[in-house]
Chains A and B, each alone.
Chain A
């Protein structure tokens, strides 16, 4: 691509993506709060359309049964989760170190878990 790639000709980061296809637009989730009639307090809509954070504990097993566990469904869920995280902590005008620090801490924990079988024996060694 070199220096002949003009970002104006490729809106939305089109030429730069690793995975082809349309991107999930982050601001689709921002909707007006319209109260629908006939619901008890706390209910917000059909169970299968709600994101995980708005599902109550008692309804969790029902919600999981409505989940799409195919590869595309899981990939879509992962992409939605990542987009929500980025929109909340990274793509804000005055973001701080919190967004990246949480990612790095998560990475350290992941590496710890990955290596656990290997160094759980270190505690019991006599000589290091």
Chain B
């Protein structure tokens, strides 16, 4: 499997696009992955699911703030 750097960039863009496409209200809350459902543990062990949800939300926030992709995500929101 001969990887090039370009295929890595392609894979990264597709992953970021996948994170952008998962809409907060329409989809993630339905399957129990919404951010309002993550205020569980107050201790120091948040758990994998909470970490993943935080990661998804922070990636989406960074994308809304900075790069030209924010036009696309605003259309989804």
User: Are A and B associated in one complex?
Assistant: no
**B-side interface residues toward A, CB under 8 Å?**
none
